Structure 1
Amino acid sequence: MAASRLVLLFAVVALQLAPAHMPTCAADPTDGFTSVPLTEANFVIQKPYNMPLDQRYSFVNGVRRLWVFDDDEPFQAGNPTLPRTEIRFTGYDYSSGVWQFEGYGYVPEGTTGTSIVQIHRDTNGATEMMLRVYNGELRNYRTAVVATNVYDRWMRINVIHNADTGEVRVFIDGVQGLQVVSDKGPATFYFKCGVYTQNDSSHCMESRWRDIKLYMK
């Protein structure tokens, strides 16, 4: 009996001495969302139009590897955009509601100046949000830093988009790293991931992905 009281006393003291700023368990970004079914038909690969698929994309043991070079051709002949090898998720374009992309992403050291995740829109500018890698940092476009030290490690990346309010939130490994409210207005949207050449890029750009899911609520 005395031992039980002593254990209880230690527990109470420990709680009283614990700092007020100790972290608490945060909600998972996918709480309240429902995953939507995905098959390979939903994964459309956009790659340099003149290259065989296996020269810019592989899917082995559950890992999707995408790479591109800064002197590659665009994904369509005559298209003025820069080189890319991206997964364009089809079947789930949306213009309302709250949608979420989730995937475990890996960026090898040396890759820079590339978008690895974007929310594409059909009006008022091409994108709603773009996560780019610059010298080991993950940024929203070229400004807000979302995460640091991103090279050579798997990151759980969650991008939540409320199409009704324009709010976008990004979580890295379950921790919110970005919140932005867009003023670009209504549109039809879809998610993409991979590599898409941006400013000051490396010659070769690569990202790898596994356990990709889409959610809605």
Structure 2
Amino acid sequence: MASGCSKNLVVLMVVVLSFSINGFQNQFCLADPTDGFQQVAISSNELVLQKPYDQPTQNRYRSQDGVEKFWVYNNDKPFKPDSPTRPRTEIRIRGHDYSSGVWQFEGTAYVPKGTSGVTIMQVFGGASQATTLQLRVYNGELRYYSNRFVASNIYDRWFRVNVIHDVEQGKVTVFIDGAQKLVVDDKGRATIYFKYGVYAAPEGSSNYMESRWRGVKIFKK
């Protein structure tokens, strides 16, 4: 039979081990993609809405109680009459274009079930192609363009999106709900900026496409 002293020692070891494990977990959980970054102020006039040119704003965009709602249809017009691009309802963040440094986009997104074949966030600009990054939704999965998997089961829930672009290193890193999901090479130096909303993919888009966003911010080092 174990003595009282032995029992107390065992209990103490369990408590210490539990504290150590929980302390490690808490330290790990405290890590955040925005650590070490400084938030950049965005004024309302720097949030430029691009929508089908023949539609009034209220037919494709709404902002209420801190939530922005974007929607577009597959047969909508482009954002200007002479554009050959696909339909979109997006916000282009002006005044914070960059061609060097380390920049980060953050926002919390919601995509309703049925929305598919649509880009919900872009890092626009690149030396070798028009965009450095597109995050697209296909049948409930978030993808890098149309092929590389990023995250699953994104329909009908809010999820946090952080995208870091290190221009000097030529790398783009994507975090979903604080977990690193993707690291890819960028597309070369250019004038670059962030966009979010809905932009119909080249093909296979659902008839109706929607995303909602809240808490959109940008950061830099």
Instruction: Using structure 2 for the length normalisation, give the TM-score.
Output: 0.90
Q: Deviations over 1:11-65 (max 9, x none)?
A: 256589x7xxx89615200000000011211211000011000100000000000
Give the unaligned 5+ runs of structure 2: none
Give the secondary-structure state (helix, strand or coil) at the position aligned to 2:28.
coil
User: Are the aligned partners of 2:161 and 2:177 in contact in 1 as well (CA < 8 Å)?
Assistant: yes
Secondary structure at 1:95 match in 2? coil
Which AA in structure 2 matches 1:49? Answer: Y
Alignment partners' CA distance in 2, 1:148 and 1:51? 33
Secondary structure of the 2:189 match is: coil
SS in 2 for 1:81: coil
Q: 1:202 is aligned with what amino acid?
A: S
CA contact (8 A) 2:60 2:70 kept: yes
Pick the aligned partner of 2:209 from 165, 188, 205: 205
Structure 2 counterpart of 1:102: 106
Distance 1:122 1:129, change over 3 A: closer
Instruction: Name the SS of the counterpart of 1:41 in structure 2.
Output: helix
More helix per residue: 2
Q: 1:177 is matched by which residue type in structure 2?
A: K
Give the aligned length.
212
1:157 equivalent in alignment to 2:161 = yes
Change (3 A) 1:124 1:6: closer
> How much does 1:122 deviate?
5.6
> 2:17 & 2:27 partners in 1: Cα distance?
19
**CA separation of 1:23 and 1:180: change in aligned 2, threshold 3 A:** farther
| 1:34-49 → structure 2 map (5 Å cutoff) | 34-49=38-53
- 2:183 counterpart of 1:189: no
In structure 2, relative to structure 1, the CA distance for the partners of 1:25 and 1:81 (3 Å cut) is same
- State the SS of the aligned residue for 1:25: helix
1:76 and 2:80 aligned: yes
Query: In the TM superposition, what whole-angstrom CA distance separates every residue of 1:128-152 from its partner, at most 9, and x where no partner exists?
Result: 0100000000000011111000000
Structure 1 counterpart of 2:58: 54
When structure 1 is superposed on structure 2, of 99-108 and 161-170 the one drifting more is: 161-170
The yes-or-no answer on 1:174 pairing with 2:174 is no
CA displacement 1:76-98 (0-9 Å, x = unmatched): 11200000000100010000000
Q: Which TM-score applies when normalising by structure 1?
A: 0.91
1:126 aligns with 2:127: no
User: SS at the partner of 1:9?
Assistant: helix
CA separation of 1:13 and 1:37: change in aligned 2, threshold 3 A: closer
**2:18, 2:92 → 1: CA distance?**
51
**Which portions of structure 1, spanning 4 or more consecutive aligned residues, are displaced by more than 6 angstroms?**
none
How far apart, CA to CA, are the structure 2 residues paired with 1:124 and 1:133? 23
Post-superposition CA distance 1:169-205 (Å, at most 9, x none): 00000000100012x3210100000000012100000
CA contact (8 A) 2:151 2:176 kept: yes
C-alpha distance in 1 between matches for 2:16 and 2:71: 55
- Please say if residues 114 and 206 of structure 2, whose CA atoms lie closer than 8 Å, have aligned partners that are also in contact: yes
Give, in whole Å, the separation in 2 of the partners of 1:110 and 1:103.
21
SS of the residue 1:131 aligns to: strand
Structure 1, unpaired ranges of 5+: none
